Amino acid sequence: QKEVEQNSGPLSVPEGAIASLNCTYSDRVSQSFFWYRQYSGKSPELIMSIYSNGDKEDGRFTAQLNKASQYVSLLIRDSQPSDSATYLCAAQNSGSARQLTFGSGTQLTVLP
Amino acid sequence: DGGITQSPKYLFRKEGQNVTLSCEQNLNHDAMYWYRQDPGQGLRLIYYSQIVNDFQKGDIAEGYSVSREKKESFPLTVTSAQKNPTAFYLCASSARTGFSTNQPQHFGDGTRLSIL
């Protein structure tokens, strides 16, 4: 069974700090990885995608991928109260259907 | 504006009743998906479709049915066979992916289904 594991949290960080969210996946052939942000009662919103080993930066967000360790992370610099949400990690398989397997999410609270 | 429209926002089902959730997209995406989300949990795939007139079961298809008669539309029916239908239902779409490209999925605003 393909699985994506996340620490459910809750994770609390003070405003201005770096929030670090982690994710591991079991399917070695997964090729693409996505981070979604989901505010309470709302639908998931794509914030980052990463396909190659290493770091990918977009504004205050940095995604990190290590395929050898089957590990994906998301760093949020200068965290703001508006970043408080649940963050979902998703792994896309390599088959033609390109299905996503989602983790259960990490709840992040940024304290003012 | 391009996007994915789900309706209704809230839906109530009576015992023994089938209900249909609507999903329409104007993004010209080939692939469409239905997910179910229970409180505090991630998304679980119900059905997906990569092309018109074709769809496949996901991980939790029992008690659900779909159709894909038009590229823009992918309605989900929750049948009376689904004994625990209360959940947040999310529709997503993506451009068709080949083996060398990666296309993320984008979501509609969701439908909350409850039992009366």
SS (H, E, C) chain A: CCCEEECCCCEEEECCCCEEEEEEECCCCCCEEEEEEECCCCCCEEEEEECCCEEEEECCEEEEEECCCCEEEEEECCCCHHHCEEEEEEEECCCCCCCEEECCCEEEEEEC
Q: How far is A21 from chain B (nearest CA, A)?
A: 15
Check: CB of residue B68 under 8 Å from CB of residue B32: yes
pLDDT at B101: 56
Q: Does B39 touch chain A (CB under 8 A)?
A: no
Interface probe, candidates B105, B106, B109, chain A, greatest A C-beta count within 10 A: B105
pLDDT for the residue numbered B115: 86
Paired sense of beta strands A32-38 and A11-14, if any: unpaired
A73: region left, alpha or beta (phi > 0 left; psi from -120 to 50 alpha): beta
pLDDT of A1 reads 64
* A74 touching B (Cβ < 8 Å): no
Out of B33, B50, B110, closest to residue A43 by CB = B110
Instruction: Give the model's pLDDT for residue B95.
Output: 87
Q: What is the pLDDT of residues B35-82, one digit of tens each?
A: 999 988 889 999 999 999 999 999 999 999 999 999 999 999 999 888
CA distance A87 to A33: 13
The per-residue pLDDT for range A26-52, each reduced to its tens digit, is 988 888 999 999 999 999 999 999 999
Beta carbons of A98 and B94 less than 8 Å apart: yes
Q: Which residues contact B72 (CB under 8 A, 6 or more apart)?
A: B24, B25, B26
Q: Give A94's contacts in chain B (Cβ within 8 Å).
A: 99
The predicted pLDDT at position B112 comes to: 96
Tokens 């992916």 correspond to B97
Judge: B102–A43 Cβ closer than 8 Å, yes or no.
Answer: no
